[in-house]
Amino acid sequence: MKNWFVVCTKARYELKVARQLELNGFEVYCPSTVSIKQWSDRKKKVHSPLFSKYIFVRLEEKKRNQIFKFPGVLNYLFWLKKPAVVPEQEMKTLRSYLEDEALDAEEISCFKSGDTVALKQGHFKGQKAKIKKISNHRVELVLPALGYRLIAKTRDLVT
């Protein structure tokens, strides 16, 4: 039976290790985000791992030691003196949440602090929220009915 394990990697090796493991037939999940970084002479899209120094690998317990031959792999994340196992349902939830929250670069100049908006996607779909702060492609919202503060991407909003 295959389980999802959390693998610890060297800093900034997450995507490299995930790619190497995939090329060698392992089932790997390395959630990442895409952001636009600006240098003095250009802008560039940069893929960054969501969890620094961690990737998820699905394999059988007896094959756990096979991943140590890849450069950048340090160890497994341990919980109660055993390698941490992430339940399949939690992995599905994580994947679906991250797919829902994909970044769309849209113009947010039509919004201003104090506006009330309705969320059109994600876990809080249909909820009304008040804009507290706007920065780049993100908006800090307050959901008074639920008592939550959250950061939303502009594609999740409807005026």
- Give the β-pairing of 148-153 and 157-158: unpaired
Domain spanning 116-158, CATH architecture: Roll (2.30)
For 125-148, what is the mean pLDDT? Answer: 75
Q: Residue 30 class from Cβ within 10 Å (0-12 exposed, 13-18 middle, 19+ buried)?
A: buried
pLDDT at 119: 74
Q: Determine contact, residues 56/87, Cβ cutoff 8 Å.
A: no
As annotated, the residues of the chain forming the CATH 3.30.70.940 domain(s) are 2-100
For 121-142, what is the mean pLDDT? Answer: 76
Mean residue pLDDT of the chain comes to: 82
Domain spanning 2-100, CATH architecture: 2-Layer Sandwich (3.30)
pLDDT, tens only, 90-113: 898 888 777 765 434 344 556 678
pTM for the structure as a whole: 0.64
pLDDT at 104: 40
- What number of other Cβ atoms are within 10 A of residue 111's Cβ? 15
Q: Determine contact, residues 149/140, Cβ cutoff 8 Å.
A: yes
As annotated, the residues of the chain forming the CATH 2.30.30 domain(s) are 116-158
